[in-house]
Amino acid sequence: MFTEQWALNQAINAAQQSPCVKSQRGVVLWRRASEGKRGLYLAAGFNHPPAPFRCDGSVACREACNKVCIHAEADALLKTPTRVPDRWSLTECEMLHIKVVKGHATASGQPTCWQCSRLVLGAGLKAMWLFHKSGLQSYTPEEFHRLTLKNNQLPVLGG
């Protein structure tokens, strides 16, 4: 049940909840079944301004969107329950990010959001997935962060 295709569908559903006029993004956070542990849905998130603020679709809103909104990755991590029925940790969990246009998954470019890459790395997730033209691509959190820094021409400190 907790496959990449399932995660893609969940992330698409989450992205469709985004009120953002510029770009609807969604993620799902889950754990696969393995070694006697059942699969587990943890949370889904989408990009949005923090309450009580709203997306108004203006030029100013569109230009500041990535700086003033809660990104889908952060939203999912904020929604992650602190207790679940069985023992787990985020190191067993995967996250899949998607951009949706007119209700359909759209291929993303290379990792570029340094805010989210550091959250993914800091949370200690097992994997980060992006949907590219060639299909779903899995990254380790460290690889995802390194690529993000490289794509933003930022230094990789200590590494």
Digit-coded pLDDT (tens) for 98-150: 999 999 999 988 999 999 999 999 999 999 999 999 999 999 999 999 999 99
Flag whether pLDDT at 28 surpasses 70: yes
Euclidean distance between the first and the last CA atom of the chain, given in angstroms as a whole number: 37
Amino acid letter, 13: N
pTM of the model: 0.90
H/E stretch holding 68 reads helix 59-68
Q: What angle do CA 39, 24, 18 make, to 5 degrees?
A: 75
- Which domains, ranges and CATH numbers included, belong to the chain? 4-151 (3.40.140.10)
